[in-house]
């Protein structure tokens, strides 16, 4: 087993943002942590796709579904967590939806794979 950490959404001014796709072949679990600064309100969720790439080094995924229970509300400055989530998907991505307020957001994903 190996653990990997990805800064999937680098620090940026709060706005709606969708990360790039992360290949999750042989990945069993992930968790996601969002770090928010300022009086910010929004939500972070994880999405998955099982689109099959014609080139395994590219992400042609265009069909995305929300992963059930892989969502966390952001209600102020602080650190918020999507706990360990079981995976069996080809791709995942993080989606932050900004509701109000100002500040920055950063999202890190921890993955456990074989």
| Site of tokens 């209600």 | 75
**pLDDT at position 18 over 70:** yes
Number of domains in the chain: 1
73 within some domain: yes
CATH number at residue 31: 2.60.120.380
Dist CA 112 CA 29 (whole Å): 5
38 within some domain: yes
Distances (CA, A) of 74 to 16, 31, 97: 13, 16, 10
Dist CA 47 CA 63 (whole Å): 10
Q: What is the pLDDT of residue 97?
A: 98
75 within some domain: yes
58 within some domain: no
107 within some domain: yes
Q: What is the pLDDT of residue 62?
A: 87
What ranges make up the beta strands (E) of the chain? 2-13, 17-18, 22-23, 27-36, 40-49, 65-74, 78-86, 91-101, 104-113
pLDDT tens sequence across 77-87: 999 999 999 99
43 within some domain: yes
57 within some domain: no
pTM: 0.92
69 within some domain: yes
- Parent domain of 76: 2-52+63-113
């Amino acid at each position: 087993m190996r653990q990997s950490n990805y800064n999937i959404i680098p620090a940026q001014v709060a706005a709606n943002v969708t990360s790039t796709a992360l290949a999750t072949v042989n990945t069993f679990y992930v968790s996601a942590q969002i770090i928010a600064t300022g009086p910010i309100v929004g939500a972070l969720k994880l999405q998955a796709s099982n689109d099959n790439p014609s080139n395994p080094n590219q992400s042609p995924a265009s069909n995305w579904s929300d992963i059930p229970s892989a969502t966390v509300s952001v209600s102020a400055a602080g650190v918020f967590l999507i706990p360990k989530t079981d995976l069996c998907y080809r791709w995942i991505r993080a989606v932050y939806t900004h509701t109000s307020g100002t500040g920055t957001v950063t999202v890190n994903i921890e993955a456990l794979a074989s």
